[in-house]
């Protein structure tokens, strides 16, 4: 079963799941420095995760922009789940 959960609490399990995915994809797989991936905007964002059978497999975060829009970033899918429907 697929489920989407979100949170803007950096103490939540959702945020921790997001960090795990981002670390796996960006830091470990793509060699992005951790200090660049985990930035000073963490507490300002809302985090969305896709869960498949209870396990987090994808994430994204957004934050509001000064012009009343949103900035979507840190979109990541665990390698095992890419190109699935």
Q: Where are the domains of the chain?
A: 2-81
- The pLDDT score that the predictor gives to residue 84 is 72
Point out the residues of the chain with pLDDT beneath 50.
none
Predicted model pTM: 0.91
DSSP state, residue 44: G
Decide which of 3.40.50.720, 3.90.25.10, 3.20.20.70, 3.40.630.30 is the CATH code for 2-81: 3.40.630.30
Distance, in Å, from the CA atom of 2 to the CA atom of 23, rounded to the nearest integer, reads 22
pLDDT at 12 (0 to 100):
98
Spatial CA neighbour of 20 closest among 45, 48, 50, 57: 57
With a CB cutoff of 8 Å and minimum separation 6, the contacts of 23 are 34, 37
CA nearest 75: which of 55, 61, 57, 56? Answer: 61
């Amino acid at each position: 079963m697929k489920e989407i959960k979100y949170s803007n609490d950096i103490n939540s399990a959702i945020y921790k799941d997001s960090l795990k995915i981002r670390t796996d994809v960006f830091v470990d797989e793509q060699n992005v420095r951790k200090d660049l991936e985990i930035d000073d905007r963490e507490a300002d964002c809302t985090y969305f995760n896709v869960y498949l059978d209870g396990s987090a497999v994808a994430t994204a975060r957004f934050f509001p922009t000064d012009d009343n829009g949103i900035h979507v970033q840190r979109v990541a899918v665990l390698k095992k789940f890419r190109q699935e429907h």
